[in-house]
A and B are shown apart, each in its own frame.
Chain A
Amino acid sequence: MKIPAWLIFTACVGGFAALCWDAGVRLPEAYPTIGRCQADPARYAGREIWIIPARVSASDPEGYEVQHGGGGRVRIRATSQPPPGAYVYVRGTFQADGVVDQKSILVDTHFIAERNGTVAISVLTLILFAGFFHRTFAWRSGTFHVR
């Protein structure tokens, strides 16, 4: 028995949507963002978290403070301090007082330039590929046909 194409398509789209829904429900709890931890410190105290990437806004001998993607700020307790203005990738343990105890860090002083360069290179690659694709396939009656 041949399975109708529309049924296969619907099953694939439905299955993919179900996986995305599952990821959206379970993963934020398994890998909480710093914003989520700050909203309920008692619940997430002692959890390992990752801050990727964040701008250092201030530093002192006992640690430093970063602006994270959620728009807020968080204090990192560490023995070494990156310079203010640098971007850091931090792995640490969230504490009930809202501070993160740093376990490992990666400092990047050229993050913005690198990120912009990466995006520009990627967009250019995509535009070139779209040109090659258009030379190989033609859009006719709702599907791509080989030219």
Chain B
Amino acid sequence: MGDLLTHYVSARVTGVRIRDRATAMVFTLGVFLPDLLGKPLGHFQGFPDLVEVPTHSPLGLLLACGAACFLFAPAFRRRAFVALYAGSLLHVFLDLFKSYLGRGAVMLLHPFSLKGFELGFYRTEDVFYLLPANLGILALLWLAGLRRAKPPGSAGDMSKP
């Protein structure tokens, strides 16, 4: 379990324009998906080291999301796949900013290349210090949601005579 709050905030910020609540929810699930798949795989006794790498690569996630979308009803499945995959890619993009002292946080091109990529801006544990910023962003989003939900004719609504 890495830093799911930061990933959740990234999903809320980038998904702010998604009007359909179900699609936004699946987009957020997609943001969690790489860690939900990767952490159990990586800690499973008897599995080799780094077996979880496809849970954080674009090709691996394409296949994982292709399978995971079958958890949803057929009428919603195509949209679920797109939302899951977009969310998963957002997770990988955010993980690129992590630091592993140059080893590479994400193997973007696996299985075609074993090269690791990272921008080296923060460590997983630094999310502890990002907590105030994350909570602040969530509070702002919550307030914005309240303003949007304010019914017409309520105090401050100047659209009526």
Binding site for B on A (CB under 8 A): 5, 8-9, 11-13, 15-16, 19-28, 30-31, 33, 36, 50, 52, 89-91, 104, 106, 108, 111, 114-115, 117-119, 121-126, 129, 132-133, 136-137, 143-146
Instruction: Please give, as numbers and ranges, the residues of chain B lying within 8 Å of A52 by CB-CB distance.
Output: 100-101, 103
**Interface residues as binary, B102-142 with A (CB distance below 8 Å gives 1, 0 otherwise):** 11000100110010100000011111100100000000000
Given contacts A16-B54, A27-B50, A28-B48, contact A123 B72 (CB under 8 A): no
Asked if A111 and B125 sit within 8 Å, CB to CB, the answer is: yes
Asked if B111 and A19 sit within 8 Å, CB to CB, the answer is: yes
Instruction: Please give, as numbers and ranges, the residues of chain B lying within 8 Å of A16 by CB-CB distance.
Output: 54, 60, 63-64, 67
How many whole Å from A52's CB to the nearest CB in chain B? 6
Instruction: Please give, as numbers and ranges, the residues of chain B lying within 8 Å of A50 by CB-CB distance.
Output: 100-103
Instruction: Please give, as numbers and ranges, the residues of chain A lying within 8 Å of B124 by CB-CB distance.
Output: 118
Asked if B49 and A27 sit within 8 Å, CB to CB, the answer is: yes
Asked if B63 and A118 sit within 8 Å, CB to CB, the answer is: no
Asked if B25 and A23 sit within 8 Å, CB to CB, the answer is: no
CA distance A3 to B102 in the complex (A): 43
Asked if B125 and A144 sit within 8 Å, CB to CB, the answer is: no
Task: Write the chain A residue with the least CB distance to B111.
Answer: A22
Q: Is B158 on the interface with A (CB-CB < 8 A)?
A: no
How many whole Å from B111's CB to the nearest CB in chain A? 5
CA distance A126 to B51 in the complex (A): 24
CA distance A50 to B120 in the complex (A): 15
Task: Write the chain A residue with the least CB distance to B70.
Answer: A9
Task: Write the chain A residue with the least CB distance to B25.
Answer: A136
Q: Given known contacts A23-B53, A118-B1, what 5 new A-B pairs fall within 8 Å (CB)?
A: A11-B66, A16-B67, A89-B100, A125-B8, A144-B73
Instruction: Please give, as numbers and ranges, the residues of chain B lying within 8 Å of A118 by CB-CB distance.
Output: 1-3, 124-125, 127-128
